[in-house]
Amino acid sequence: MFPSSPPLPAPLLGNRQTQTVSELTSSITVLLENEFPFVAVSGEISNVRRPYSGHTYFTLKDSEAQIRCVLFKSQQRYLAQPLCDGARVICRGRISVYRQRGEYQIIVDHVSDGGLGDLQRRFDMLKEKLLAEGLFASEAKKKLPAFVGKVCLITSPSGAAVHDFLSTALERFAGLQVEILPAAVQGASAAREIIRQIEHANKRAWAEVIVLTRGGGSLEDLAVFNDEELARAIYASQLPVVSAVGHEVDFTIADFVADQRSPTPTAAAQEIVFDKDEVVARLKRLQEQMVQGLQNTLRQKEHRLAMARRHLADPRRLVDHYRLKVDHVSLHLVHCFARKLEWATHRLDGVRHAFTAQGPERKIAGSLRRCEVLEHRLEQAMKNRLQGKGEEVARNSARLNALSPLAVLGRGYALAFTGEGKVIRGIDQVKRDDPISIRVADGTIAGMVKKTTRK
Amino acid sequence: MARKTFEDALAKLEEITRELESGDLSLEASLKKFEEGITLARFCNTKLEECQHKVSLLQEKNGSVTETPFNVNDNGS
């Protein structure tokens, strides 16, 4: 029975009307349920009861307080392990008031391991350890083939992950071949089953890629992917392993060690499986480029051929070409020579001119002229002289005539001459029998010496 | 090994296309490459068309593995 509540002090009651129990309980219910629509409480489980209904009732407590909890049957399938007294857990749910008994309790939706701090610590330690061992090294990662045709899918065949992966993968490439290796992806045996299937896939050596996948889940659901043995199995796998665990935020150890990590099964399908349409388009493009390339080559060769042929077609063209060239060169030569000749002539003229200016010709000419002048002057002078003398001669002739011995002859004198014509001035000039001639006024008498007598 | 050949064929086709586009080849070599390229392209196309998807579920019973067809459309949510 309800313990009777202590009487409220009068001032607090104020003007308030008295309420019935139901009314107050309703108010409390509204208050509590509105105030706490969602709670997450950590504590230790105790007093677990599981009546016929299949629901689980327990108390969550810590050192100072406790609170009633109920986990309905429908939610129990999500438990990793059944609830047991003493377990440290985190319960998520809402506060509910049970009016009939005046009690409040948590209606639990989800129970997770309360030792999350431990879990995180273990995760970090394992990560450090495997990192140090080189399990996450990028050099250790195997490269996925560009065109994956055979895939081993390790997952739960009933999960949404299978469908998500297959629908996307087959849409991209309908020729994809998939083998599903079933394994539990949560729960205690999951890690062991997955390891077995990884080994199995490697033994079969049929697939090109192993895809390890599951749909989304809580952090605890993914605990299996933080298993050390699983990590080592992934590392040891000869086939490349893709980890596609449906969680966006956190990485699992499997993600670190896997050769590739995809956030979801769908993403894995997109990343691993090539899109056939894309490849077909690429093929078509390549074919077109190839045709284009060949056509270009052909055109290029044709062009070169045409060029070559044009040169080859008419040898006369070449002859003409050289003929013109020769002509041109000859012309040039002639021109050059002519210029040179002209220049030489010009120079010769210059020299000749200079030479002539200085040469004897001019002197000769000058002399000649001077001679002529002199001759003329001489003539003139002579003429003048002769003229003068003539007159003088005429004048003197009369005088001379008067004085001439011949005139004397007229007076009876004679002149005797030797045979040689000399005037005989003495007897020594002649001898006996020498011819002589005697000039008289009117002629000459020839004679001979008979005798010379000195006086 | 068909897949490998497909991959190689595509890579080879790309190489040939590059060579043909560069135009450095002799005419004979070009033609030869072109023929090879066309063959490769045809091969790739055929390979893609040939592929028929197959999804099977492998289950182990009493130490032996049984393979059963897995119907894609019936599964999933």
Interchain CB distance below 8 Å, B37 and A286: yes
Amino acid at A207: A
Q: Does A382 touch chain B (CB under 8 A)?
A: no
Residue B23, judged by CB atoms within 10 A of its CB (0-12, 13-18, 19+), counts as middle
Whether residue A320 sits in one domain with residue A253: no
- Confidence check: pLDDT of A391 > 80: no
Residues facing A114 on adjacent strands: none
Which residue is listed with tokens 């665990």? A245
Kindly state whether residue A132 falls inside one of the protein's structural domains: no
Could you read off the pLDDT of B18-54 as tens digits, one per residue?
888 886 777 788 888 888 888 888 888 888 777 777 7
CB nearest A289 (choices: B17, B25, B45): B17
Residue of A nearest to B38 (CA): A287
CB nearest B54 (choices: A146, A157, A177): A177
* A275 contact partners, CB below 8 Å, separation of at least 6: A172, A173
Kindly state whether residue A127 falls inside one of the protein's structural domains: no
CA distance, residue B27 to nearest chain A CA (Å)? 7
Share of chain A above pLDDT 70, in %: 86
| Domain final residue pick, A225, A241, A274 | A274
Q: What domain range is A254 assigned to?
A: 145-274
Alpha helices in A46-152 (DSSP H): 116-133
What CATH number is associated with residue A234?
Answer: 3.40.50.280
Going by their DSSP bridges, the two strands A88-98 and A39-49 should be labelled as antiparallel
Interchain CB distance below 8 Å, A283 and B21: no
Q: Does A150 touch chain B (CB under 8 A)?
A: yes
Query: 3-state class of A171 per DSSP?
Result: helix
Kindly state whether residue A329 falls inside one of the protein's structural domains: yes
Whether residue A431 sits in one domain with residue A359: no
Residues of chain B found within 8 Å of residue A286, distances taken between Cβ atoms = 13-14, 17, 37, 41
CB nearest B77 (choices: A163, A180, A286): A163
The C-alpha atoms of residue A274 and residue A163 are separated, in whole angstroms, by 18
Instruction: Tally C-beta pairs within 8 A across A and B.
Output: 128
What pLDDT does residue A249 have? Answer: 58
**What ipTM score was computed for the predicted complex, to two decimals?**
0.72
Contact A165, A266 (CB under 8 A): yes
| Angle subtended at Cα A265 by Cα A263 and Cα A270, rounded to the nearest 5 degrees | 85
Amino acid at A166: L
Which residue is listed with tokens 């593995």? B65
Contact A238, A122 (CB under 8 A): no
What pTM was estimated for this model as a whole? Answer: 0.49
Average pLDDT over residues A84-109: 88
Whether residue A104 sits in one domain with residue A47: yes
Whether residue A259 sits in one domain with residue A324: no
Q: Which two tokens stand for residue A428?
A: 């020594």
Interchain CB distance below 8 Å, A296 and B55: no
Kindly state whether residue A137 falls inside one of the protein's structural domains: no
Residues of chain B found within 8 Å of residue A208, distances taken between Cβ atoms = 3
Map out the domains of chain B with their CATH numbers: 6-69 (1.10.287)
What CATH number is associated with residue A28?
Answer: 2.40.50.140
The C-alpha atoms of residue A330 and residue A324 are separated, in whole angstroms, by 10
Whether residue A229 sits in one domain with residue A261: yes
CB nearest A147 (choices: B3, B38, B53): B3
Kindly state whether residue A261 falls inside one of the protein's structural domains: yes
Could you read off the pLDDT of A419-453 as tens digits, one per residue?
888 888 888 888 888 899 888 888 889 888 888 88
CB nearest B53 (choices: A174, A182, A296): A174
Residue of B nearest to A280 (CA): B45
Q: How confident is the model at residue A7 (pLDDT cuts 50, 70, 90)?
A: low
- Confidence check: pLDDT of A119 > 70: no
User: Smallest Cα–Cα separation from A226: which of A113, A317, A318, A93?
Assistant: A113
CA A259 to chain centre: 36
Average pLDDT over residues A221-248: 88
Looking at the structure of chain A, the number of domains it has is 4
Whether residue A293 sits in one domain with residue A238: no
The C-alpha atoms of residue A88 and residue B8 are separated, in whole angstroms, by 57
Residues facing A274 on adjacent strands: none
Whether residue A160 sits in one domain with residue A95: no
CA distance, residue A150 to nearest chain B CA (Å)? 9
- Confidence check: pLDDT of A233 > 80: yes
Burial A399-411 (b: 16+ CB within 10 A, else e): eeeeeeeeeeeee
Q: Does A304 touch chain B (CB under 8 A)?
A: no
Q: Which helix (H) or strand (E) holds B8?
A: helix B2-22
Helix, strand, coil share (%) of chain B residues, nearest 5 = 60, 20, 25
Kindly state whether residue A17 falls inside one of the protein's structural domains: no
Kindly state whether residue A13 falls inside one of the protein's structural domains: no
Whether residue A288 sits in one domain with residue A362: yes
Could you read off the pLDDT of A299-322 as tens digits, one per residue?
888 888 888 877 776 666 777 777
- Contacts with B, A 179-198, CB within 8 Å: 179-182
CB nearest A163 (choices: B2, B56, B75): B75
The C-alpha atoms of residue A97 and residue A31 are separated, in whole angstroms, by 10
The dihedrals phi and psi of A60, each to the nearest 5 degrees, come to -105, 130
The C-alpha atoms of residue A423 and residue A436 are separated, in whole angstroms, by 10
Residues of chain B found within 8 Å of residue A160, distances taken between Cβ atoms = 76-77
| Domain final residue pick, A213, A245, A274 | A274
CA distance, residue B45 to nearest chain A CA (Å)? 7
Interchain CB distance below 8 Å, A178 and B54: yes
Could you read off the pLDDT of A324-366 as tens digits, one per residue?
888 888 888 888 888 888 888 888 888 878 777 776 666 777 7
The C-alpha atoms of residue A152 and residue B54 are separated, in whole angstroms, by 12
Contact B14, B44 (CB under 8 A): no
Whether residue A297 sits in one domain with residue A200: no
| Domain final residue pick, A74, A94, A114 | A114
Beta-sheet strands, E only, within A156-297:
177-182, 209-214, 241-245, 260-261
Kindly state whether residue A9 falls inside one of the protein's structural domains: no
The C-alpha atoms of residue A25 and residue A102 are separated, in whole angstroms, by 7
Residues of chain A found within 8 Å of residue B45, distances taken between Cβ atoms = 280, 283
Amino acid at B56: S
Whether residue A227 sits in one domain with residue A315: no
The dihedrals phi and psi of A428, each to the nearest 5 degrees, come to -70, -15
Residue of B nearest to A276 (CA): B48
The C-alpha atoms of residue A177 and residue A172 are separated, in whole angstroms, by 12
Whether residue A85 sits in one domain with residue A46: yes
Whether residue A197 sits in one domain with residue A298: no
